[in-house]
Amino acid sequence: MTEMKVISSERLRWLGRKIFAACGALPAEAAIVTDELVEASLMGLDSHGVIRIVQYAEEVFRGKIKPGAPVTIVKETASTAIVDCGFNFGPVSAVRMSQIVCEKARVANVACVVSQSGHHVSRLGEYVQRIAQQGMFGLGAANSSRHGHWVAPWGGSQGRLATNPLAYAVPTSGLPLVFDMSTSMISEGKIRTLMAEGKSVPPGCIRDGAGNPVTDPKAFYGPPRGTIQPFGSELGYKGFGLGLLVEILGALLAGQASALDLPYINGLCLIAVNPEAFCGSQQFRTMIDGLCEYVTSCPPAPGFSEVVMPGALDFRKRQQRLAEGIPLAETTWADILAVAQRLGIATEETTAERVQP
Amino acid sequence: MTEMKVISSERLRWLGRKIFAACGALPAEAAIVTDELVEASLMGLDSHGVIRIVQYAEEVFRGKIKPGAPVTIVKETASTAIVDCGFNFGPVSAVRMSQIVCEKARVANVACVVSQSGHHVSRLGEYVQRIAQQGMFGLGAANSSRHGHWVAPWGGSQGRLATNPLAYAVPTSGLPLVFDMSTSMISEGKIRTLMAEGKSVPPGCIRDGAGNPVTDPKAFYGPPRGTIQPFGSELGYKGFGLGLLVEILGALLAGQASALDLPYINGLCLIAVNPEAFCGSQQFRTMIDGLCEYVTSCPPAPGFSEVVMPGALDFRKRQQRLAEGIPLAETTWADILAVAQRLGIATEETTAERVQP
C-alpha cells in the first residue's frame, strides 16, 4: 500500500507559490497556477491537483513551459478571440481566456474564445466555473495534441483522440453547478496507477494494440500501444461523437490540425452565454435553483442515499479537505519537497509568510 | 412479425404535403414539415420520420398544433433571440430558428437562439445540419416539458428529464458531419415497440417504479411508472450531466421551468459559431476534412469493417432509401392513408402532381 501524508492546503499553497516563483513565474502568475492545482486537489480531482507541481516545474526546466510568456490575442472580434498562450503555464492562459470570454459575452451576449500554444490547463471545470461565477452559462472543451491520442474512435484499433474533457457551469443562488467529464471510459493516468498497484482495469475500458478488449494494463501499454475506449460502453459511438466535438472546438477552430504532432498540450475552447439576453440574469439563477430543487427532490434509487447535482460532491470534498488537509502519497510529497530543494527554497514557512486561502 | 410495405419517398412527400395542407398549413409550411419527416425516414431515423405524419395531423385535430401560427421573435439582440413558435408545427419553427441563428452568426460570429411554445421538432440533427450547410459550426439541444420526463437523474428513482437529445454539425468539402444523440440509454418509443413485440429491453436501460433494474417493459410502465436510465451505463452520471446541459439550454435560458407541466413539446436551443472569425471558413472546412481522414484511416477493431464519422451511415441509408423506397409497417401506411381519407384527399398522385425531391 502507498503510504499517505496529509498536508494542509495552506502549506501547499505557500510552497507551490514559492516553487513557481523560483521557476521564473511572476508572483501573480505563480499564485494562479498554485491556486488552480490546490483547488483541484481540494475538490478531490487529485490527478489534476498538486501532484502536477513537480510535473509543471520539470516542464519549466525542460523549456516546455515558459514562465512569464505573454498571453496575447492574435485575432478577435467583439464576440470571439484566438488567444496565443505562448506556452506560459496552462492555468495562467486559461484564467485569462475565461476573463476574455466573460468580458466579450457581457457586451456581445454570446462569446467564444479558443487557444493556440497552450500548456496543460489542469481542471477544465475551473474555467467554466469562473464564467458561472460571473452569472453566465459557460461551456468548455479541451483537446490534446496527437501525443495524447490514446482514445480509439468507435470501431477503431488505434488512438485518434485524447480523453477530451467537456465541461459546463451555471450560476445558482449558492455554489455553481459545475459539470466536467472526460469523453473516454478511463484516463491514461488511472491505467498507469492501476498498473503500478498490480491491479487490472475494469472490463470495457481498454483494448490491446490489435483492438481486442483486455483488462491487463501491460497489454494496453504494449508495444504495440493499445487504446482507451470512448465513453459509453456498448453505446460508445456517442462518446466518440462527443470526443470529436471537443476536438473540433478545442483544436480545429483555432486552426490546429489533429493529425499533426503539434507542441501544444491542451487546446482550450470557452463559450459564454449571457442570460441577460434571454430570460434575464436573476430569472436564470432562479430557474437553475428550481431545476436543482426538482432534480434533488427525486427519491433515491436502491443503493443511493441521495440525488446530487453535478459538482456538489466536489464542493463537499473541498470543505472537508480545507478543514482536514489534502491526502498525498508520501512519494508525491517527497517529490514536491525535492523540487523545492532543487530550487533552493526553504520548505518550512514562517508565520509571517502564511498565505490566506 | 410486422408486415412491411415499401413506399417511395416521392409518394410520401407528395401525400404528406397534401395532408398538412389539408390540415390548414400554408403550402410552404406543409412542404417543410413533410420534407423534414421524409428526410428523417430516408436517413433511417424511423421513429422521427413519416410515422409522425399521423401524430402531427391528430395534434392539429386536437388543437395542439396550430398550422399557420406566426413564428415570432419576442426578444433579441444582434447575437441572440427568444423565438415564440406559437405551436405551429415543430419543423416550421425549428427551420426558422436555424435561419435566424445563421443570419445572426453571419454578422455577430457567435449566436444563440432559443424557443418558447414549440411543438415536436422531429430530427434534431436536421437543424444543426442546416447550420453546417451555411459553413458554420452548429450545436443543438432539445428538451421536453415535464410530461416527457421518463429519464431518472443518476441515483434517482423517478423521471426528471426527457431523453434530451444533443446534436452538432460541421461542414466538410462533402456531406456535413452530423452528430445527434439522446442523453438516455433508450427512447421511450423503443420500449413501447419492444413491449408490442413481446420482447424484453436490454439490461441496464430501464428501472421499475421503485428504482430496481428491470428488462420487462410492463414493469417499466407500471403503475407506478418506471424510469429510463441516463446514457453511460456504470458512468451514467455523465449522461445525467449531459441531460441537464440540454435542459438548461433548451428550457431554462428561454425561461421555461422544468418542474412545471408546460404545454410545449420541445424546447429548442441552437448555437452557431462562424469559423470566419477563427481559423477562416475555408481553412475550417479543410481542417474538418483532415480530421475525417485522420479518424477514418484508423484500422478497424475486430468485429468492425471500417471507422465512420458521425452521420455517415445515415447519409448512406438516405441514398439507399432514395433509390429503393422507405420500408413502413403496413399498419403505419394504413394509418397515413386513413388520415388522408379523413381529410378528403385522393391518395393516388397524378403525374402532373409529382413533387421533385
Report the alpha-carbon distance of residue B346 to residue B348 in Å, rounded: 6
Report the alpha-carbon distance of residue B224 to residue B209 in Å, rounded: 5
If you measure CA to CA, which chain B residue comes closest to A305? B155
Angle at A344 between CA A343 and CA A346, to 5 degrees: 120
For residue A196, the model assigns a pLDDT of 86
For residue B348, the model assigns a pLDDT of 79
Of the partner residues A245, A259, A283, the one whose CB lies closest to the CB of residue B168: A245
If you measure CA to CA, which chain A residue comes closest to B291? A258
Contacts of A298 (CB under 8 A, 6+ apart): A307, B152, B153, B156, B157, B158, B160
If you measure CA to CA, which chain A residue comes closest to B288? A252
Contact B245 A179 (CB under 8 A): yes
Contact A298 B109 (CB under 8 A): no
Report the predicted TM-score, pTM, of the whole model to 2 decimal places.
0.97
ipTM: 0.97
Grid coordinates representing A272 are 459564454
Contact B75 A177 (CB under 8 A): no
Of the partner residues A211, A259, A294, the one whose CB lies closest to the CB of residue B294: A259
For residue A11, the model assigns a pLDDT of 97
Report the alpha-carbon distance of residue B245 to residue A172 in Å, rounded: 14
From the CA of B226, how many Å to the nearest CA of chain A?
11
Q: What's the Cα-to-Cα distance from A312 to each of A121, B231, B266, rounded to whole Å?
A: 22, 20, 28
Query: A171: closest CA among A138, A210, A212?
Result: A138
For residue B132, the model assigns a pLDDT of 98
Low-confidence ranges of chain B (pLDDT < 70): 1, 350-357
**3-state SS of A284-337?**
HHHHHHHHHHHHHCCCECCCCCCCCCCCHHHHHHHHHHHHHCEEEEHHHHHHHH
Q: Which residues of chain A have a CB within 8 Å of the CB of B303?
A: 155
Q: Which residues of chain A have a CB within 8 Å of the CB of B231?
A: 232, 235, 238
Query: Does residue B223 have a cis bond before it (omega within 30 degrees)?
Result: yes
Instruction: For residue A11, count CB atoms less than 10 angstroms from its CB and return exposed for 0-12, middle for 13-18, buried for 19 or more.
Output: middle
For residue B293, the model assigns a pLDDT of 98
For residue A185, the model assigns a pLDDT of 98
Q: Which residues of chain A have a CB within 8 Å of the CB of B214?
A: none
Q: Are B128 and A129 in contact (CB under 8 A)?
A: no
pLDDT tens for chain A, residues 1 to 357: 578 999 999 999 999 999 999 999 999 999 999 999 999 999 999 999 999 999 999 999 999 999 999 999 999 999 999 999 999 999 999 999 999 999 999 999 999 999 999 999 999 999 999 999 999 999 999 999 999 999 999 999 999 999 999 999 999 999 999 999 999 999 998 898 899 889 999 999 999 999 999 999 999 999 999 999 999 999 999 999 999 999 999 999 999 999 999 999 999 999 999 999 999 999 999 999 999 999 999 999 999 999 999 999 999 999 999 999 999 999 999 999 999 999 999 887 766 666 555
DSSP A351: G
Overall size of chain B counted in residues: 357
| DSSP H or E stretch at residue B83 | strand B80-84
Query: B327: closest CA among B82, B46, B28, B22?
Result: B46
Of the partner residues B80, B156, B299, the one whose CB lies closest to the CB of residue A298: B156
For residue A6, the model assigns a pLDDT of 98
Contact B259 A294 (CB under 8 A): yes
For residue B323, the model assigns a pLDDT of 98
Beta-bridged to residue B130, according to DSSP, are none
pLDDT more than 70, % of chain B: 97
Q: Which residues of chain B have a CB within 8 Å of the CB of A231?
A: 232, 235, 238
Beta-bridged to residue A111, according to DSSP, are A272
Contact B77 A109 (CB under 8 A): yes
Contact B253 A273 (CB under 8 A): yes
If you measure CA to CA, which chain B residue comes closest to A76? B277
Q: How many CB pairs under 8 A join A and B?
A: 252
| Amino acid, single-letter form, for residue B346 | A
